[in-house]
Amino acid sequence: MAEAAVDTTEDQTVDTKVIKERLDLLKGGRFKMWLEICAHCGLCADSCFFYLAHDKDPKYMPSHKVMKTLGELYDKKGEVDRATLKEMAEVVYGDCTACRRCSMFCPFGIDIATMIAAGRGICCSQDLHPDGLKAAIQNYKDTGNQMAMSSEDFVETCEWMAEETEEELKGLEIPIDKQGARIMYTVNAREPKFYPQDIAEAAMIFHAARENWTMPSNGWDDTNLAMFAGDGKTMTAQVKLVYDAAERLGAENIGITE
Amino acid sequence: MLTEPVTYQDPCNISRNGGLAKQGRELVKALCTDFRDMRDNGDYNHCCGGGGGYIPMGPPFKRRRMESGRVKAEQIRETGAKTVIVPCHNCIDQIRDLNKEYDLGIKAVHFKTIIPHMMIIPDDMKHEEESE
Amino acid sequence: MYEFVSGPLVWVAFIVFIGGMIIKTVGLISLSKKKDKVVYNHLNLDWSMRSIFRWLVPFGSRGMRENPVLTIAGFVFHICLLAVPLFLLGHNILWDEAWGISLWSMPDRIADWMTLFLIAAAIVLIIRRIVLPEVKIVTTSTDYILLAIACAPFITGYMAYHQWMDAKTITIIHILCGELMLISIPFTKLSHMILFFLSRAHIGSEFGERRGTVTW
């Protein structure tokens, strides 16, 4: 058993009412069908790198991970204590990256990763998502990006990079908030924060290709750690921020970084 | 052009969940002379082991992340590649961590790191001293 | 007793099976239209059909190619499970007498062998559940019960045909087993006989229409 990595606090409360509401909300046609028809055939096992990396330890096989988390939550109608929920959180956050490879190997085409994501949503509703994601979510809420960068800092970083890179490519600019561009380019917040060179490199490619592009001063972070945490509200707000920027600027496409 | 052996990491969000596996490969092949695909490539590629928020979950998950990344490390080692082109910020951090953990002796780079060195620069974008 | 199980109870079984499956399928689809709206903007017939076809053809998917034992056992099991009851001469004669309809029927000798193949395949499936750790860990008692429910009509049918016990008694048991299986379908995961198509259509479209990637 790996060491516990989520929720090291002493909190012992669980709001089963919220869990029940969420379970009920989730249980559309798809989930109902998937939970019912899984034939427990085991074909998903070999598709999972967690399973393979742990020398085929069956506890890492995809369908088992779902049965032990979301499946059990439905079986118990949401009546679980915090210790059980913590164990589930270790599985949904620590034993699956929701890569969706198993869906390609399920004879019934059950979207296993989507059910893991649903499990994350329930853990998140009880504040059981990992601390690293909690911090990022707070930053999204405060600043619209996971690194808590201010709009001024971002724009300054871009200007600085444009200045440096112009030495290599004549006429290079990093257009901020330009109207009507063909591509509104967005980045991972780690780029302006830690690897500004990445933005310069993208700018060089756009410039050499004579692309009509821009970056928004607000709504430029295309990552969505809230989605990974299972925080639907922040996830939606973050996506909306980027789309609103594209609409505001009348951009034809949203480009996302590598 | 890169002349050493090169492999390509299909990020889940780009290949399996983005439908861009073929385009990624075309781009890689245009940049190198010795492209070696991993086993289980394209839509079937394995996650790098750092996806789904695993990397930003931080140090408490690091050891588990390195353990489960063994599959990716083996995939890369099998190709014998010296450079891994990785078009994803998440994958690249994981693959650089795996490089240290499993001593792969590789370099992980983005497309945008190498393309500026190889692209043809239009004459009007060259500074005077460079064009001499 | 025979009159009852081969008369009114057959009607009950078919009504529960067909009616139950219709209610279940329509219910799931209407529920998904309310709660899974996101599915419908990329539902695509072409991708759905390919996704279904690939998993209906033996070794049509990578997962099947990598697991030949399960693939062969699974296909033998399902083909016999459908073909024997539908094309058995004895069944067709009964339907002809009762409703005046009948299908093509196979020679009894073939049905006999197919029954044995089905039982052999079921044994392979059971052994898998016991021997393979990744299958064992997800196996529940329901899985065994449903396998038993699916096999029972075949075992008892075989016994009846070969007159291993009192013919009348074993025939009654055989009919009851068949009815039990039909009635179970809408209430258990045996409903995958219809839901398989919905589920595969969904994932085929989800990967194919939205992203151009395959699920086989």
pLDDT attached to residue A2: 52
CA distance A58 to chain C (A): 5
Which is nearest to B22 in space by CA: B48, B42, B38, B41? B42
- Tell me, rounded to whole angstroms, the distance of Cα C19 from its chain centroid: 17
**In a structure prediction context, what are the per-residue pLDDT tens digits for chain C, which is 216 residues long?**
888 988 899 999 999 999 999 999 999 999 999 888 888 989 999 999 999 999 999 999 999 999 999 999 999 999 999 999 999 999 999 999 988 999 999 999 999 999 999 999 999 999 999 999 999 999 999 999 999 999 999 999 999 999 988 989 999 999 999 999 999 999 999 999 999 999 999 999 999 998 999 999
B23 and chain C: CB distance < 8 Å anywhere?
Answer: no
Helix, strand, or coil here: A187? strand
Which range among A19-33, A210-224, C7-21 shows the weakest confidence by mean pLDDT? A19-33
C138 to A63: CB separation less than 8 angstroms, yes or no = yes
Question: What are the structural domains, with CATH classification, of chain B?
Answer: 6-131 (3.40.50)
Q: Which residues in chain C are contacts of A47 at CB distance < 8 A?
A: 63
pLDDT attached to residue B24: 96
Going by their DSSP bridges, the two strands A213-214 and A253-256 should be labelled as unpaired
Give the H or E element holding residue C103: none
Residues 6+ apart with CB under 8 A from A90: A2, A4, A5, A6
Neighbours of chain C (3+ CB pairs under 8 A): A, B
d(CA B124, CA B127) in angstroms, rounded, equals 8
Which pair of tokens denotes residue A207? 């410039």
Residues 6+ apart with CB under 8 A from C8: none
A108 to C200: CB separation less than 8 angstroms, yes or no = yes
Average the pLDDT over A87-100 and give the result: 96
Which pair of tokens denotes residue A6? 């989520």
Going by their DSSP bridges, the two strands B83-85 and A253-256 should be labelled as unpaired
pLDDT attached to residue B127: 86
Tallying the residues shown for chain C, one arrives at 216
Question: What are the structural domains, with CATH classification, of chain A?
Answer: 16-129 (1.10.1060), 133-256 (no CATH)
Q: Which residues in chain A are contacts of B61 at CB distance < 8 A?
A: 5, 93-94, 130, 132
Q: Which residues in chain C are contacts of B16 at CB distance < 8 A?
A: 207, 211, 213
Q: Closest-CA residue in chain C for A47? A: C63
B17 and chain C: CB distance < 8 Å anywhere?
Answer: yes
B18 and chain C: CB distance < 8 Å anywhere?
Answer: yes
Other CB atoms within 10 Å distance of the CB of residue A10: 6
* CB C195, CB C52: distance < 8 Å: no
Helix, strand, or coil here: B35? strand
C213, C215, C216: which to substitute to probe chain B, counting the most B Cβ within 10 Å? Answer: C213
B16, B23, B25: which to substitute to probe chain C, counting the most C Cβ within 10 Å? Answer: B16
**Residue indicated by tokens 């690293």:** A132
d(CA A117, CA A245) in angstroms, rounded, equals 27
Average the pLDDT over A23-46 and give the result: 93
Which is nearest to A23 in space by CA: A137, A127, A125, A133? A125
pLDDT digits over B31-80, tens only?
999 999 999 999 999 999 999 999 999 999 999 999 999 999 999 999 99
Neighbours of chain A (3+ CB pairs under 8 A): B, C
B10, B43, B46: which to substitute to probe chain C, counting the most C Cβ within 10 Å? Answer: B43
d(CA A219, CA A246) in angstroms, rounded, equals 9
Average the pLDDT over B102-117 and give the result: 96
Is the pLDDT at A192 greater than 90? The verdict is yes
Average the pLDDT over A40-59 and give the result: 97
Neighbours of chain B (3+ CB pairs under 8 A): A, C
What is the average pLDDT value for chain B, to the nearest integer? 94
Which is nearest to B28 in space by CA: B53, B6, B46, B50? B6
The closest CB to that of B18, out of C62, C211, C214, belongs to C211
The closest CB to that of A109, out of C31, C128, C203, belongs to C203
ipTM: 0.93
C-alpha torsion angle, residues C45, C47, C52, C57 (rounded to 10): 130
pLDDT digits over A159-176, tens only?
999 999 999 999 999 999
pLDDT attached to residue C35: 87
Helix, strand, or coil here: B94? helix
pLDDT attached to residue A3: 60
Single-letter amino acid, residue C136: K
Architecture of the domain defined by C2-211: Up-down Bundle (1.20)
Is the pLDDT at A140 greater than 80? The verdict is yes
Single-letter amino acid, residue A87: E
C203 and chain B: CB distance < 8 Å anywhere?
Answer: no
Which pair of tokens denotes residue A137? 């979510």
Is the pLDDT at A12 greater than 90? The verdict is no
Q: Can you give the residue ranges of every domain in chain C?
A: 2-211
B12, B39, B61: which to substitute to probe chain A, counting the most A Cβ within 10 Å? Answer: B61
